[in-house]
Amino acid sequence: MELSGTFQITDWQENVDKELSDGAKLSTAVVQQSYTGDLTGSSEVRYQLCYDAHGDAIFVGFETLTLNADHAPAILVLQHSGAFKNGIASSQFTVVASSADASLLGRSGSFKSTEGGKAEYQLCMPRIG
C-alpha cells in the first residue's frame, strides 16, 4: 500500500553558510509546507544544502510533519537525502520518529517537485491483513 499526495511550499528561508570556490556554496534552509492527499497537515523542514557552481545541489535534512487527525495531531519525523538538479528537487526519506504509530518507523518514501513550489510525495505503508 502507498500513501500519496501533494505538498506546497508556503515559505522558504535560506542562508548561505559558506562560499566555496567557483561559485559553489553551503547553505541552510528552513522550509514550511502544507500537505494534501492521503496525508494532510503542515511541516517544517531544515535542510543543509551543498550547491555546485551551476546551481545544482545535494541536500540532507529533517522534516517534522504534523498530521491532522481526528482526536489529536500526530507527528512524523522524516530524514531526507536528496538533490536539486536542472530545476527539479527530489528526495528519498525515511520515517525516523512517529508519535502516532510505531509501525511507521523505518518506512520509506520519496518526493519529486513539479512546478509552482509543489511536489508529489509517496510513502510506502505495510499491508494489513
Read out DSSP for 84-129?
Answer: EETTEEEEEEEEEEESS-GGGTT-EEEEEE-STTEEEEEEE-----
Q: Which three cell numbers stand for residue 78?
A: 522524516
The Cβ of residue 83 has, within 10 Å, a number of other Cβ atoms equal to: 15
pLDDT digits (tens, 9 = 90+) for 8-24: 999 999 999 999 988 99
Q: For residue 120, give Cα distances in angstroms to 2, 26, 44, 54, 89.
A: 13, 26, 17, 25, 11
Which band of pLDDT confidence, cut at 50, 70 and 90, is reported for residue 129? very low
pLDDT at position 126 is 64
Using an 8 Å Cβ cutoff, are 60 and 81 in contact? yes
Q: Which CATH class is domain 2-124?
A: mainly beta
- Residue boundaries of the structural domains of the chain: 2-124
Q: For residue 112, give Cα distances in angstroms to 28, 44, 76.
A: 20, 17, 19
pLDDT digits (tens, 9 = 90+) for 44-58: 999 999 999 999 999
